[in-house]
Structure 1
């Protein structure tokens, strides 16, 4: 066997080994869920008809999405929710749109009496996404909306 063939074979084996090792590292690298295209919309109650707050987002993770917890809070407050606190918040409804992605929507009806007790101005929507593999992503300001009566 010539030296050229042996050297070429060794280079090929090293290259394949590097590709395989890189693939294993890439495949085993954990990734947290992503929350994208999020939006919040508030509609004030009118003449006995309830208004609503609606939050929507696209949530993605390689293992799929288990849930998305949502909390709206006024900027004027001292509230700064944490991921631990959001674990106990209300869940959005998530609909699978692909192997890794879900479209999640959260809707909260708001009555006139409730609206009367809420501070006007800028509000934030915080979210906590949890993947099927247990990884999480906390977004303290995933979206904003303006609350008016």
Structure 2
């Protein structure tokens, strides 16, 4: 093999190894993010109770500490004054299970009684999510998903 081919192959291996190391380092540092959020509301009907279910995927390289969920009517005070992380402090947490290396799949489900359904404002509702990573980073998505109460 000529010296030029050996040098070219060696240089190519060094470049590919460097790119691979960069890709691994970059993949290992995932910022905190919320994705693939869905909400489903079923009103009580006759003897059958109602329910509200919200699911989302949360990713962070340091791991997930907590995911809080709040459903709120689009015509509430939160629409006028922005919902904050402080507003989310006392709300309930979703149940999260590992879903890949740095991702958890979270589900929040509550039953809805006839009295609760009757007292709920009709129309568009939003679902807010406050995710907290183990390293302390937080992200708030005030409109992660929507649903309608009729």
Given that 1:72 and 1:123 are in contact with CA atoms closer than 8 Å, whether structure 2 keeps it comes out as yes
- Residue matched to 2:10: none
Given that 1:34 and 1:61 are in contact with CA atoms closer than 8 Å, whether structure 2 keeps it comes out as yes
Q: Is 1:111–2:110 an aligned residue pair? A: no
Mapped partners of 1:96, 1:87: distance in 2: 23
> Could you tell me the TM-score, scaled by structure 1's length?
0.77
Q: Is 1:142–2:129 an aligned residue pair? A: no
Structure 1 outlier segments of 4+, above 2 Å: none
- Residue matched to 1:56: 55
Mapped partners of 2:104, 2:89: distance in 1: 19
| Paired residues, number | 128
Mapped partners of 1:55, 1:82: distance in 2: 19
Q: CA deviation at 1:65?
A: 1.1
Mapped partners of 1:72, 1:112: distance in 2: 17
Give CA deviations for 1:73-127 in whole Å, capped at 9, x if unaligned: 0001122421111122100000011221000000011001110000110000001
Q: Is 1:73–2:67 an aligned residue pair? A: no
Equivalences for 1:76-115 in 2 at 5 Å?
Answer: 76-79=75-78, 80-115=82-117
Q: CA RMSD in A?
A: 2.3
- Residue matched to 1:15: none
Q: Where do 5+ consecutive residues of structure 2 fail to align?
A: 1-17
Q: Where do 5+ consecutive residues of structure 1 fail to align?
A: 1-18
Given that 1:36 and 1:59 are in contact with CA atoms closer than 8 Å, whether structure 2 keeps it comes out as yes
